[in-house]
Amino acid sequence: MSSTEIFPSYATVSGWNAVLAPRAIAAPPSSRKKFDFIIIGAGYTGLAAARQLALLKPELEILVLEGSVVGEGSSGRNSGFLINVPHNTKMSGHDADADFAKKQIAILNKGKAWLKSLIDEHGIDCAWSDIGKYHGAATVKGERGLRQLADDLRQWGLPCKLLNKEELEYHIGSPYYRFGLYSDTNVLVQPAALIRGLADSLPANVTLAERCPASSIEYKKGEYTVRTLTHNYKSNAIILANNGFAKHFGYLKDRLITIYTYAGMTGQLDDEQLNTLGADKEWGLIPANRLGTTLRLSQDRRFLVRTEYSYERPENLFKVKEILLKSIRHRYPQFEGYEFEHVWGGVTALTRNGAVYFGQLGPNIFASVGCNGAGVLKGSIYGKLLAESILGIDSEELHTVVSLDKPSWLPPEPLRKVVVGAAINRFRRIAGLER
């Protein structure tokens, strides 16, 4: 991401979005120029905040600006795992605190229940599948990590099952992994279909503007002016829900980094091909190492592999494609000669300590950014809670979120690039066969 980029721009389409029917794109409003709230970013966080503000205060007029097209943005480019287990349970003052982890799990479960209620209410066809997930370890170190995860899950009151090599192979069709873990704490979805459905079912007092990136924000005499490429809009309050691209407006530059990840997806598999991918006809697998390879077999018979990372800028997709093919063929030699129907990248925002920035940045400007790769459930519930916080609605969940650590400091460029690049290379080496 260069300093001039104001939203993610991608070289190829998202495979998840490409397999869906085209949708009508919401044009920027040309007549109304003043809104009660302007939200920058139509991902899970931005749409959740807009929805909750609109439902709680129907008299408000809310504008959501999306630089890309809903479904093609970052929210439609992930692997479609809705994980309700916190990534970071050892923040300051809570080291190995099971009760603290349970509070975070309860918040994420609220997000899952809320999303499911919206899907049911609005008939959003996003292939929602409450079937859990597998974790796979290809190394001794990875196995140790999964055994520790199993201990943590049980301590948090979450059931799980350990799988030996043969048991995991039965389910996913690959002998690559030496050890596995199954947990039912996960939902699989078609992410582009989900985010599109959420956008297309917003309350009537929310205006969505696609292909309308905000280029600058100016605050003067208690009022904000948000400039886009074609229009200027005014508001007394702003919500930043554009993840790492909040840096473009001068906020949290020393707290956020953006990381690209990459995925390849096959076309629809025939029965013979499908039968080589295990007894389960739909499944997802998370690697034991964070820089390992994620696998997924979708409801509509497509096989997805996700791996590889790059800092701030996208990698060459020809190089990425070869890495993805190598990864999948290590696990499934029968895919030799097969090609991906779609290869794409997606960007997420990370913080040094895994914390989300949640709260007020300045006069009537608020943010929830830094999802750390777990943005579907976390982004949704944090966006909802941010709206409630702005309106003065208190809750136990809000107290928990506010009590969490803020993102820690990052060194400035060019040192940051050197440090992050070295860390990525180090984690690649550590990941080893998990990649």
Residue 2 pLDDT grade (very low, low, confident, very high; cuts 50, 70, 90) = very low
Say which CATH architecture domain 15-76+193-256+352-419 belongs to.
3-Layer(bba) Sandwich (3.50)
Residue 424 has a pLDDT of 83
Structure tokens at 198: 């959420």
| CA–CA gap between residue 52 and residue 49 (Å, rounded) | 5
Residue 321 has a pLDDT of 94
Residue 433 has a pLDDT of 86
Kindly report the three-state secondary structure assignment for every residue of the chain. Answer: CCCCCCCCCCCCCCHHHHCCCCCCCCCCCCCCCEECEEEECCCHHHHHHHHHHHHHCCCCCEEEECCCCCCCCHHHCCCCEEECCCCCCCCCCCCCCHHHHHHHHHHHHHHHHHHHHHHHHHCCCCCCECCCEEEEECCHHHHHHHHHHHHHHHHCCCCEEEEEHHHHHHHHCCCCCCEEEEECCEEECCHHHHHHHHHHCCCCCEEEECCCCEEEEEEECCEEEEEECCCEEEECCEEECCHHHHHHHCCCCCCCEEEEEEEEECCCCCHHHHHCCCCCCCEEEEECCCCCCEEEECCCCCEEEEEEEEECCCCCHHHHHHHHHHHHHHHCHHHCCCCCCEEEEEEEEECCCCCCEEEEEECCEEEEECCCCCHHHHHHHHHHHHHHHHCCCCCHHHHHHHHCCCCCCCCCCCHHHHHHHHHHHHHHHHHHHHC
- Mean of the per-residue pLDDT values of the chain: 93
Residue 374 pLDDT grade (very low, low, confident, very high; cuts 50, 70, 90) = confident
Residue 371 pLDDT grade (very low, low, confident, very high; cuts 50, 70, 90) = confident
**Cβ contact 159:183 at 8 Å:** yes
Identity of the residue numbered 172:
I
Residue 256: pLDDT over 70 = yes
| CA–CA gap between residue 117 and residue 352 (Å, rounded) | 34
pLDDT digits (tens, 9 = 90+) for 27-61: 999 999 999 999 999 999 999 999 999 999 999 99
Tokens 């300051």, residue located: 92
Residue 393 has a pLDDT of 98
Residue 63 has a pLDDT of 98
Mean pLDDT for the stretch of residues 229-248: 95
**Cβ contact 428:435 at 8 Å:** yes
**Residue ranges per structural domain of the chain:** 15-76+193-256+352-419, 128-189+258-350+426-431
Mean pLDDT for the stretch of residues 103-125: 96
Q: Count of CB atoms within 10 A of residue 432's CB?
A: 14
Mean pLDDT for the stretch of residues 376-384: 96
Residue 88: pLDDT over 70 = no
Residue 90 has a pLDDT of 56
pLDDT digits (tens, 9 = 90+) for 306-316: 998 899 888 99
End-to-end CA distance of the chain: 25
Residue 91 pLDDT grade (very low, low, confident, very high; cuts 50, 70, 90) = low
Residue 3 has a pLDDT of 40
Residue 89 pLDDT grade (very low, low, confident, very high; cuts 50, 70, 90) = low
Q: What is the CA radius of gyration of the chain?
A: 21
| CA–CA gap between residue 149 and residue 142 (Å, rounded) | 10
pLDDT digits (tens, 9 = 90+) for 126-181: 999 999 999 999 999 999 999 999 999 999 999 999 999 999 999 999 999 999 99
Query: How many residues are present in the chain?
Result: 435
Residue 15 has a pLDDT of 97
In angstroms, the Cα distances linking 82 to 88, 111, 209, 284, 294 are 16, 10, 26, 11, 14
pLDDT digits (tens, 9 = 90+) for 323-334: 999 999 999 998
Identity of the residue numbered 75:
S
Instruction: Check residue 133 and give left, alpha or beta (phi > 0: left; psi -120 to 50: alpha).
Output: beta
Residue 423 pLDDT grade (very low, low, confident, very high; cuts 50, 70, 90) = confident
Mean pLDDT for the stretch of residues 288-302: 94
CATH class belonging to 128-189+258-350+426-431: alpha beta
Instruction: Check residue 96 and give left, alpha or beta (phi > 0: left; psi -120 to 50: alpha).
Output: left
Residue 111 has a pLDDT of 96
